[in-house]
Amino acid sequence: MFPVGVRLPPSAPPPAATRGGLTRRAYSTDRGTIARRLFSPVQELSVSRLFVPHEMLVRYDQAGPRYTSYPTAPQWTETFAAREFRAEIERTNQQANPPPLALYTHIPFCESMCFYCGCNIIISGDTDHADPYAAHLFREAEWYQALMAKGRQVVQWHIGGGSPTFMRPDQLDRLLAGFRARFPFAPDAELSMEVDPRITSTGHLDVLKANGFNRVSMGIQDFDAEVQKTVNRIQPYELTRDFMAACRARGFNELNVDLIYGLPKQTPESFLPTVEKIISLDPARIALFNYAHVPWMRPFQRRFDEHDIPGGDAKVTILTNTIEQFTAAGYRYIGMDHFAKPDDELSRAQEDHTLHRNFMGYTTKANTDLYGIGVSSISEVGDCYAQNTRKLSAYTHTVEAGEWPTMRGIRLSADDKLRKRVISDLLVNLVVDKAKVEEEFAIAFDTYFAAALEKLKEPQADALIEIDATHLRVTELGRVFIRNLAMPFDAYLGQQADGAKPMYSRTV
Minimum CB distance to ligand SF4 smaller for 121 or for 275: 121
Provide φ and ψ at 63, rounded to 5°.
Answer: -75, 135
Contacts of residue 464, defined as CB under 8 A and 6 or more positions apart, other chains included, come to 474, 475, 477, 478, 481, 484, 485
| Strand pairing report for 384-388 and 16-19 | unpaired
CA–CA distance, 46 with 38 (Å, rounded to integer): 11
Please state, in angstroms and rounded to a whole number, the distance separating the CA atoms of residues 505 and 271.
22
> What residues contact 268, with CB distance under 8 A and at least 6 apart?
7, 314, 317, 318, 321
Q: Among residues 163 and 320, whose Cβ is nearest to ligand SF4?
A: 163
CB of 218 to ligand SF4, least distance (A): 10
Does 494 sit behind a cis peptide bond, omega within 30 degrees of 0 on the bond before it? no
Do the Cβ atoms of 315 and 286 come closer than 8 Å?
no
The distance of closest approach from Cβ of residue 296 to ligand SF4 in the complex, given in angstroms and rounded to an integer, is 18
Q: Taking the chain, what is the end-to-end CA distance rounded to the nearest angstrom? A: 18
Nearer to ligand SF4, 162 or 361 (CB): 162
Q: Among residues 65, 78, 81, which one has the least CA distance to residue 495?
A: 65
Q: How far apart are CA 432 and CA 489, in angstroms?
A: 12
> Would you say 114 or 257 has its CB closer to ligand SF4?
114
Nearest residue (CB) to ligand SF4, 110 versus 207: 110
* Cα 242 from chain centroid (whole Å): 25
- When binding is defined by CB under 6 A, the residue of 35, 63, 81, 119 that contacts ligand SF4 is 119
Any contact of residue 114 with ligand SF4 (CB under 6 A)? yes
Piece of the chain touching ligand SF4 by CB under 6 A; list 146-154, 155-163, 484-492, 494-502: 155-163
Contacting range for ligand SF4; rule: CB under 6 A; set: 97-105, 109-117, 376-384, 405-413 = 109-117
Q: Which of 6, 103, 110, 485 binds ligand SF4 (CB under 6 A)?
A: 110
Q: How far is the CB of 314 from ligand SF4 (least distance, A)?
A: 22
- State the minimum distance, in angstroms, from the CB of residue 275 to ligand SF4: 20
Comparison of 54 and 303: residue with beta carbon closer to ligand SF4: 303
Rule CB under 6 A: choose which of 140, 190, 196, 380 binds ligand SF4: 196
- Exactly one of 113, 149, 281, 493 binds ligand SF4 (CB under 6 A); which one? 113
Instruction: Report DSSP letters for 156-196, one per residue.
Output: EEEEEES-GGGS-HHHHHHHHHHHHHHSPEEEEEEEEEEE-
Smallest gap from Cβ 234 to ligand SF4, in A, equals: 11
DSSP 90-113: HHHHTSSSPPPEEEEEEE-EESS-
Q: Which is nearer to ligand SF4, 219 or 268 (CB)?
A: 219
Q: Is residue 161 part of the contact set for ligand SF4 (CB under 6 A)?
A: yes
Decide whether 199 or 491 has the Cβ nearer to ligand SF4: 199
Radius of gyration of the chain (CA): 23
**Taking contact as CB under 6 A, which single stretch among the options 112-120, 175-183, 380-388, 489-497 is the one that binds ligand SF4?**
112-120
Minimum distance between the CB of residue 120 and ligand SF4, rounded to whole angstroms? 9
| H-only helix segments in 2-129 | 41-46, 54-60, 82-93
Q: CB of 333 within 8 A of CB of 339?
A: yes
Select from 73, 87, 117, 122 the one that contacts ligand SF4 (CB under 6 A): 117
State which residue, 117 or 135, has the beta carbon closest to ligand SF4.
117
Q: Which CB sits closer to ligand SF4, 92 or 505?
A: 505
Q: Which is nearer to ligand SF4, 119 or 443 (CB)?
A: 119
Distances (CA, A) of 336 to 156, 293, 362, 482: 21, 18, 10, 7
Question: Can you name the residues that pair with 503 across neighbouring β-strands?
Answer: none
- Closest C-alpha to 217, from 291, 156, 304, 297: 156
Instruction: In angstroms, give the least distance from the CB of 151 to ligand SF4.
Output: 36
Binding flag, residue 491, ligand SF4 (CB under 6 A)? no
Q: Dihedrals φ, ψ of 81, to 5°?
A: -100, 170
Binding mask 345-384 for ligand SF4 (x = CB under 6 A): ----------------------------------------
> Residues 277 to 336: which contact ligand SF4 by CB under 6 A?
none
**Three-state SS at 432:** strand
121 binds ligand SF4 (CB under 6 A): yes
Comparing CB distances to ligand SF4, the nearer of 194 and 254 is: 194
Please answer whether residues 63 and 507 qualify as being in contact, where contact means their C-beta atoms are separated by less than 8 angstroms.
yes
Closest CA to 205 of 161, 255, 156, 162: 255
Shortest gap between Cβ of 390 and ligand SF4 (angstroms)?
Answer: 14
Q: Which range binds ligand SF4 by CB under 6 A, 115-123, 128-136, 139-147, 469-477?
A: 115-123
Contacts with ligand SF4, residue ranges (CB under 6 A) = 110, 113-114, 117, 119, 121, 161-163, 196, 219
